[in-house]
Amino acid sequence: MARARIEPTIILGPVLYFRGEQAERWRLSVLFILDGETEPEDLRVDGVGLAVPPRHVGSWKTRHVWRFDFAVPRGAEESTVTYGFEEGTRWRVTVPGIGARVRIAYTSCNGVEDEATITDHPAPRNALWADLFDRHAQYPFHLLLQGGDQLYADAVWECPLIARWRARPAPARFEEPMEPAMAEEAMAFYFNHYLKTWGQPEVAAVLSQVPSVMMWDDHDIFDGYGSHPEPMNRAPVLRGVAEVARRTFTMFQIGAPADDLPECVWGGPRGTFSQGFRVGAFGILAPDMRSERTPRRVFSDTTWHDLPLWLSRFEGCRHLLLLSSVPLLYADTGGIERFLGRLPFRTGYEDDLRDQWRSHAHRSEWRRMLKMLVNFSRAYGCRVTVLSGEVHAGGRAVLRGGGTEIWQLISSGIVHPPPPRLYTAALERLAARPDQPMDGYSLEMPAFEESGRRIIRQRNWLALTVTDRGRVIARWRAEGEPAIYEQAI
């Protein structure tokens, strides 16, 4: 008698990842976290002749992370294929046709610093994930770009051993070592927090059907990572916690072990996670703006050297989508930062303001980045559009000058509640001010025709359509808003 096939116990997954376009194939990976030591059977994918074998990515206790890599053939029209184990559940993924429009969803801020506070929001935590999935059911997305804070890991400081360390007086605790038991505690927290956050039905449904490109920001590590004063940044315990966050980030958000990253991670040899892709008439560049961050720097000299080389790989593209976790083009909040810096107490906004490109600490790097993108756009005839989140509101901005035009689209957050009305009103006034960041260049945050306002003060996510000629049509889906905000580029 033939032995009955046992379907693996899936703890989390599938989670799809985009690996790039290769000739007439759409390269994907899919991740499963399974319980137990048994290696899973091969994966079956429509249109892929051979069964796809598993690759072991990592483990925690008895839970093992497995990845399957495959490439789906493409035709002239988009197609939907299914994948799964031979006698188990099957899932769907939609692949764009060759030279056809590509539909993209953009999200950020999938959480909140204290999850207990989300209960005060009038709508369910994952209402916008459900909205995204409903939209996907009507007009399937081919890609999901996740621009930062896919995980809110700030509760790592509540782990018992780490909390006891944090309660000890500074600066003495900044010299204390990271004990192995603390590292074990942090690993349990991050691994289980990914399982809990991504395992929620509305989130899991999207991750299983739309391939992601993810880039981290501070909350994927802990709030303000890299922007804290240097004695804190150098503390062995903070560095040890960040190293655990790094290990789980590569496992869950890239789908690979830290020492064997996929070729789309261009920054891998340098120890960062910057990623790049070419897809028909457009490209995607997601620089890692968190790994090398200090209170005075966004990028290291090495990354500044690499950036022009990475941009040159998009020669021939008509449009480049640049993921900047923090908005590159935004209202100047430097005055607020200076005001808070003079107060004799902390308000909690200091790290967030220091994270901004327009912080007084990063202003020279900000202008350097603007000049680099303007020169690239002019030299290669490639339009640049920046996608960002982090600020818990929606908006747009445009830089004009030197014969170029760079647009900024801001969407945040898909879960994080909007800022207070008073704060939003202050932002609205700042956004209305005329701005000249460099000689010969103007920066504007235009008001939306749909509302007459510059800031979308609702939770939101962004739907993008990229045409075969590289034109981008962007639509914000804002919670409770009957109008859909739109921008064509």
Q: 468: domain CATH number? A: 3.60.21.70
Mean pLDDT for 362-390 is: 97
Domain boundary, last residue among 96, 119, 154: 96
- Phi then psi dihedrals of residue 57, to 5 deg: -100, -40
Say what the pLDDT of residue 269 is. Answer: 82
Q: What is the pLDDT of residues 106-160, one digit of tens each?
A: 999 999 999 888 988 999 999 999 999 999 999 999 999 999 999 999 999 999 9
Strand partners for 93 = 81
Distance, in Å, from the CA atom of 144 to the CA atom of 46, rounded to the nearest integer, reads 21
Task: With cut-offs at 50, 70 and 90, classify the pLDDT of residue 340.
Answer: low
Shared domain check, 417 and 300: yes
The structure's pTM equals: 0.96
Produce one character per residue of 212-234: b if its CB has 16 or more CB atoms within 10 Å, e if not.
Answer: bbbbbbbbbbbbbbbbbeeebbe
Shared domain check, 108 and 77: no
Whether 399 has a pLDDT exceeding 90, the answer reads yes
Q: Which domain holds residue 476?
A: 101-488
Shared domain check, 255 and 225: yes
Shared domain check, 461 and 370: yes
Shared domain check, 88 and 210: no
What is the tally of structural domains in the chain? 2
Q: 5: domain CATH number? A: 2.60.40
Q: What is the pLDDT of residues 168-199, one digit of tens each?
A: 998 999 999 999 999 999 999 999 999 999 99
Compute the half-sphere exposure of residue 136: CA atoms within 13 Å on the CB side of its CA. 29
Mean pLDDT for all residues in the chain: 93
Shared domain check, 300 and 177: yes
Shared domain check, 210 and 304: yes
Q: What is the pLDDT of residues 85-107, one digit of tens each?
A: 988 899 999 999 998 999 999 99
Shared domain check, 19 and 106: no
Shared domain check, 292 and 218: yes
Shared domain check, 336 and 238: yes
Shared domain check, 214 and 188: yes
Domain boundary, last residue among 96, 113, 139: 96
Shared domain check, 395 and 361: yes
Domain boundary, last residue among 66, 96, 126: 96
Q: What is the pLDDT of residues 30-63, one digit of tens each?
A: 999 999 988 999 999 999 989 999 999 999 999 9
